[in-house]
Amino acid sequence: MEYKIGIASTDGKVVNQHFGHTKEFLIVKVDEKGESHFLEKRKVTPPCNGGEHSEERLSKVGEVISDCKYILCSQIGPGAELYLKEIGITPYAIPHFVDYAVQKIIQYDRRLR
């Protein structure tokens, strides 16, 4: 089963962005063989506004990443986490190298099947 992962990273090397502060998500596609491929970058307006999130901006971010099965970030607040789960996206706070984090998610997803 193919799926997409959104990654909150400023440099493409490390998952280093708080979900609410992210201005851009790297999108990777995991194919039937379990191999990941970079697809694109998607720009968003960060939903966090000084410790609280804007419902409107959070909803817009949700629209931009709605085709992702997982979101990887360095941190995420409880409100944003709940919102993502409600729209069918599983968020993970995994501040690590992007390649490592993606491989961990692929392994996790395989175990779910």
Residue range 65-93, pLDDT digits in tens: 999 999 999 999 999 999 999 999 999 99
Task: Inform me whether the pLDDT recorded for 23 exceeds 90.
Answer: yes
Query: Which residues 6+ apart lie within 8 Å of 68 measured at CB?
Result: 3, 4, 5, 6, 25, 27, 89
Domain ranges within the chain, ordered by starting residue: 3-47+54-112
Rounded Cα distance, 61 and 58, in Å? 5
Residue range 6-20, pLDDT digits in tens: 999 999 999 999 999
CATH code at 3-47+54-112: 3.30.420.130
Which residue has 């609410």 as its token pair? 20
pLDDT at 113: 76
